Structure 1
Amino acid sequence: MNLKLRLNLIITLLLASVLLLAAVLMVHNARDDVRAEVQSTATLAMHLLDAEILHYTSDFGWMREAEGQNSNSIFRLHSLGNVRHLRIEFFDAQGRLRDSNIEAEHQLSSSWLIQAMDLLSPAMPEIRRKIFANGRMIGELVVTPDPSYEIQEVLGDILSLLMLVAIFFVAVNALVYWAVGRAMRPVDSVMTALNELEQGNLKARLPEFELPELTGISRKFNAMAETLEKSIHNNHKLTQQMIRLQEDERKNLARDLHDEIGQYLTAVHVDASAIINAKDIEGAKDSAQAISVVARQMMDIVHDMLQRLRPSGLDAFGLATAVTDLVNTWKQRNRKVQVNLDIPDNLDHVQDETMAVAVYRIVQECLTNITRHAHANQVDIRIYIVDAMLSIEVTDDGRGFNMTQLPSGFGLAGMRERVEGLGGRFSLESALAAGARIRVELPLQESSKETQ
């Protein structure tokens, strides 16, 4: 059930409840009013009838007239037809109806309101007056309160009011249906924009709506779509950079294998052939010594290649030793730069391999960027663990750069993606001629926190 029908149903139930309560109150009030009106009429009528009965019982001439008229119009009750609230009947001594102010064809049919009032209140008692003449009872006068006419008048008023309420009810429902439909019209625009996003159209945007609530949704949606577009664009760019980086790495490895390893293998082959063809032991020793030197050089080259692919000290000696060795090696190549390294004693307790490799690579990338771009004189590296968060801060006093024009290389983007992939936070601060500061926060895994 959509929102419009749901609101109309709620309003219908509310109005129906109010209408039912109003009907009960109206019936209750009408009952009291009708009783008071009929009781007043009955009291007045009884005063008049008592006076009439007194007159008849003191003058017996009317009996002869009544006998001549077959006793059907002793009190001339048929002439009191305009007394609508009372049913006045005269019964003879045998209980037969002789006269009445209401003819049978003029009696009102019982309506729902009369039945409801009969249920809500007890019937009004009838009034009886026995008529005696000359010491004998000649009949009985019965006055029965008859609220039918009064109730019919109340019923007419209630029906008029109910008609007005029905018109109001229909008008309110129609107005609510139209207003909600008009207010919910922008939902179609939202659904269209969401469908376009689902189908890959990242340019989908929402217009500015009239309602303030929908205007906020529009702005948030457009900001989300813009962020999503930038994120996907950056991911595509990062993917291309990663592919290019992989190809460069493969090219470097192929060149090293061809230029370095291939050259040394050729030298080993020549020296081995010389040993085989040696005429004396001294010549063989010289060739064997040359092979030993070449083998050590090949081992150094293979070690450097493996270090680029995977830091071997990380598995053998732990994260703290691997980072310290990385920084010391960098210091040997950049002797003019003063490096301050602060590493906690419990850094080796980081057992998660992905986390350890990330810390190592982040420090390595920071040092590489400082070598290439910063031209710094001092570098401060601080790693610490606080509240189950491992933090890395790398600060240099180099030439810095404008934050509105970040370097387009893979280094910063790669670090950010690596950190965010582990659920961490990456921040960069820099200004021209003011150095740079990189701060990384990584959440520790449960195993690392328990070890601490």
Structure 2
Amino acid sequence: MRELWQSVLRASGSLRWQIIALCVLPTLYLFASVVWYAYSARDREVREELRNHGQTVATALADRSAYALSQGQLAQIKESVQALLKSDPQILSVTIYGDKRQAILHEASTKGQTRVADMNTEAVIRQPLYWVSLQQSGSANGAQSATLNQEKIGTVRIALTAKQALAKRSQQFSVGILITSLALLVSMFVVTQLSGRLTSGLEQAMQTIRAIRQGERPERLVALDRGELGELQQSINQMSDSLDAARHRMEALVAERTSELEQSRNDAWAAREEIRHLLGRMHEAIEQERQSIAVEIHDELNASLVGTKLLAQRIVQLAQDGNPQSQQDIVQLAGQIAEISRSLYANGRQLVQRLRPEVLEVLGLAGALEEMLRVAQQSCPAMRFEFQAQDNWPELSERLAISAYRIAQEALSNTMKYAQAKTFRLHLHAESDQLLMQISDDGCGFEPGQASQGIGLAGMRERVMALQGEIQIRAMKGAGCQIRVSLPLHGSQT
């Protein structure tokens, strides 16, 4: 549809024909849609009305015929049916069935004998039965109760035709189409006349704009038209008058921007030393982390491997002795080797998480923080760890997620090492395009001025500053520590 519309506009060529196409084609489309909808809705509405009418007539006839059918008075029912057929031209035939679906009465109109019914409706004929029961009670007078039951004694089936209703709707449809077509022709005539008047003024305006685009100073337009077109012609005249002044202003702006660029270049050269200093601090931090990992590998992993080697040698010696008592020692030593292997695996995972928290890719930021606190709870069961996060999270960049994870990790590490706390709390939520993280503990606290040079707090501040966020640290000796971090959700996507 879009390609067809564009091809029609290209084929129309001039602006006038494009305006006519823009006005006439949607009107034609609306006209066709209304005609199609009215035509399709005609049959649907007629059938719905016919169905409701047939159900109403069948129900009424069933109620009127209940007593006569129960008494076997078919003549009375026949008179009612014949009167109904004469008064309602939409009914072709009426059939009365007994309780076992046997036809006991069938009456059809003259047109119903040669025409197929468009719709059939049925209604059940029920005979009301009253049951009265007497119950004896402890008193002298008994209690009476009556129950109403309805027994099915037959069915009314009515065959209906929609010809009369369709003919009436077709006549109404034809009158509506005629009126709508006349209105469409009048609107097309009005559009043709108005488009010619509009395009003449626009053509003059376009010629002036072409001259301005080629660098020429055109003649001023005589703004005789009123409304938007006259305002457009006046605007073109004002634009033409202001071109020279705009050129002078542009030259002045170019000179000013050139001066600013030179100043920016000088500032960039001055900032190179600061960048070198920052890079030096970054490399120093990386080397310290590598040294820490190397120490852990040497002190923990290597020591565990040496212990495993000694236990394995002892198992070999016990196996060579052939002493039955040695079997229990072998089992005990094998269990020790398995425990050391689990410890090695756990230490290896901790080192990998220090290098890159892959749990972020699997669980997301909230899940990774919750998992970090769960592991901390296992390693330090005496402490209580609380975590709270909202259910729905906006999409976070990798840089923002890793930085928030590292900040929380550093705060948890400091609390477990130095705070001697009983409770550690971490709340995480998003508010007004900001990622808010509140961390607190009830430990021994510290003096912020004395701890400001610590590598942990300094690293947290640098990560927050790199993301253009804010960090607030409140601590007091003996009163725990509270940290509030605010990071922009959309300011660190790169």
Q: Same fold (TM over 0.5)?
A: no
- Which has the higher Rg, Structure 1 or Structure 2? 1
Structure-1-length-normalised TM-score: 0.41
